[in-house]
Structure 1
Amino acid sequence: MSEVVINEGPSTEGTAKIVYILYMVGIFFGITGIIGVVMAYINKDDAPEWLRTHYQFQIRTFWIGALYIILGSILSIILVGWLVLLFWVIWLIVRCVKGMKSLDAKTAHPDPTGWFF
């Protein structure tokens, strides 16, 4: 009798960490954020379930962040947009640090569909 081994696919937690880092570097060089979201989309289907929550969180971080950037850019004409852009920077850093913390603990992200921190 042979034993059946179910393979969940390769763990791509190193890639998930790179995506978080690319997002933070994207504050200064926007193209790295786009590279990060592409990497998240490519790796999410092959990842184990706990890691899939990180990719979902990263993809939502990109799109919600894009919304904040567009809103902040439009509102910068009346100066309040600069506060929105500052909020985006702080928001992005906090989300990435919290995401990396749970990634290092090898646990699923606690709230992958959340909008704030």
Structure 2
Amino acid sequence: MADNAQNSQSTAKVVYLLMLVNIIVQFLGIIGVIIAYVHKSDAPAWLQTHYQFQIRTFWIGLLLIVGGIFLWSAGVGAIILLFWLVWLIVRCVKGMKYLDQNQPHPNPTTWLFS
């Protein structure tokens, strides 16, 4: 049982890392969110909060990227995409911090950082 929880915790960490590397290699975020969807139902309750946070990070991030692209010509897109970059890094780092401390994410439904 402890092995399964440790394995699931490692999987959650991999998802956070895939989302960070997604900044450079774009398709890795899609792989990360698929992994989060697959493992969410089998994980302990405290890890489910991390998977929920990761899934929301992907979808909200996608919304920010699309908004930034559409608003690029209005001059606001670059600011939105820069915000997305900082937002993604902060969310993933804070999520990994809680994960390393074996704590559930305190607010997995937030739109901001935690």
**TM-score (norm: length of structure 1):** 0.91
Partner amino acid, structure 1, of 2:109: T
Which residue in the other structure is 1:99 paired with? 95
Which residue in the other structure is 2:107 paired with? 111
- Higher gyration radius (CA): 1
Could you say what secondary structure the match of 1:110 adopts? coil
1:28 maps onto 2:21 in alignment = no
1:43 maps onto 2:12 in alignment = no
Could you say what secondary structure the match of 2:71 adopts? helix
More helix by share: 2
Give RMSD over aligned pairs: 1.4
Pairs aligned (count):
111
Which residue in the other structure is 1:10 paired with? 4
Instruction: Give 1:39 deviation, angstroms.
Output: 0.3
1:67 maps onto 2:60 in alignment = no
Instruction: Give 1:9 deviation, angstroms.
Output: 9.2
* Distance in structure 1 (CA, Å) of the matches to 2:4 and 2:109: 24
Instruction: Give 1:8 deviation, angstroms.
Output: 9.3
Is there any run of 5+ residues in structure 2 with no aligned partner, and where?
Answer: none
Instruction: Give 1:10 deviation, angstroms.
Output: 2.5
**TM-score (norm: length of structure 2):** 0.94
Q: Structure 1 segments of 4 or more deviating over 3 A? A: none
Partner amino acid, structure 2, of 1:10: N
* Distance in structure 1 (CA, Å) of the matches to 2:38 and 2:73: 37
Is there any run of 5+ residues in structure 1 with no aligned partner, and where?
Answer: 1-6
Q: Give CA deviations for 1:37-57 in whole Å, capped at 9, x if unaligned.
A: 000000000000000000000
Instruction: Give 1:93 deviation, angstroms.
Output: 0.1
